[in-house]
Structure 1
Amino acid sequence: MLRQRFTKPSTLRFWQLAFFWAILSVTAFTRIQADDDKLLQQVHQFLYEETQALGEEVVIDLRPPSPHLPECVQPEPFLANTNQAPLGRVSVGVRCGEDGRQVRYLQAQIDVIGDYVVAARDIERGTLITSSMLSERGGNLGDLSAQALTAEEDIVGKIAQRPIRSGSVFLAHYLQAPHLVERGQRVTVIAQGSAFRVSREGEALENGALGEQVRVRFGSREIMTARVAERGILVVDF
């Protein structure tokens, strides 16, 4: 008895279509994977350029984008928070497209091995910080608070606003720049532009450190806001 096995046309067609869609899926997945790899490389390079000056060794762990997002054309990475050093857990924005209107965010963990400044001894509140009060310590800067001040130039010359224990990291809210202008003080205000420079005396209505804006009163009614430039001197730029 001759026995033959045939596949029904409908079943054969089904497997042909299944194989076809499988090939398309693999091709699409490969393309998406390549696009994601390219995006990750660009963001990784951007983060490295932003952090290489912070320490001796930089480790960047970048999470891949969601697979449901479309391709990011002409990616332009940027830091979501420009007021803090890119350390620890960081959110990285990426503008996509020619006009950059499409924005997506990636998450990264950035660890930087380097030196940072700590208090060499106990510092009392109200103390003017000098370099002799500081010492260096090595470690992972990514483990520090986002408010930590790691460079000596950001600490020396400021006044402690609270007691600081020996070995402690300096946080931004621990310190305050010294006042160069005191409330009620007679000050000189310089108004300057490209072709002129005039000055007049007034009374400071509030305390001010270097670079801060302070209100100054002239006579009985006129009040102007000026920038503290040095002790007893403020500037208005036109």
Structure 2
Amino acid sequence: MKKLIYKIAVFTILIALSLKGADYDLMAHYAEMGKSVLMEKFSIESKNLEIETVYLPRAEQKFPSDIILKPVISAANLRPGRMMMWITAYQGNEIIRRFSVPLNVKVYQEVLIAAEDLDRNETITRENVQLLRIELDREPSYYLTDYSDLDGKIAAQRIRQGNVLRKTMIRQKPDIFKGDPVTIQILGNNFRIQADGLAWEDGQIGERIRVSNRITGKMMQAEVHSADLVIVQ
């Protein structure tokens, strides 16, 4: 009797392990399916993606060989974390089932890292940053990934050494900075007046900024014409 009970127990364990292995293979299959969809949709290399199936919706999700599975991931951005893959099962032209498979997505990419402390408004060059491959916690478009991203850019905030550079941390270098002395040129139909002024905000050539006359203190809107000249018309 004891031998019979022992044999039943062993048999039960073997079946459980077999089912567990089958589930694992199926989970790996759906993970690879999801990876292929994301690689094609977001043009990302396989080495930069790690996908895991969170759980199997149903045990009978292993379909016969004549069933075609078409996966879709509707996410607009490649955001790390939980993502849902929807699968439609076809037998010929007939849809026999639709179901969802939750995936856990990890994204890796080379991004720019500050190699030293950078002050606000300091020009960022290739000498004070470096490329490093990391696991992302936001979609890839959130990060700076190429040295050319820094051309003509300055720090929009103080950046500590080792900080991952995000697009919100930099900005285009203005032609005129807030607080710069400027020449104000006021143009009329038959006259031109010139005065010393002060910029009250940053501005690029062609933009309108607030400036003040340094003698009278009068505020006005002027168009940035060069690094030290604004025009009022």
Class of the TM-score when normalised by the shorter of the 2 chains: 0.3 to 0.5
TM-score by length of structure 1 reads: 0.45
TM-score by length of structure 2 reads: 0.46
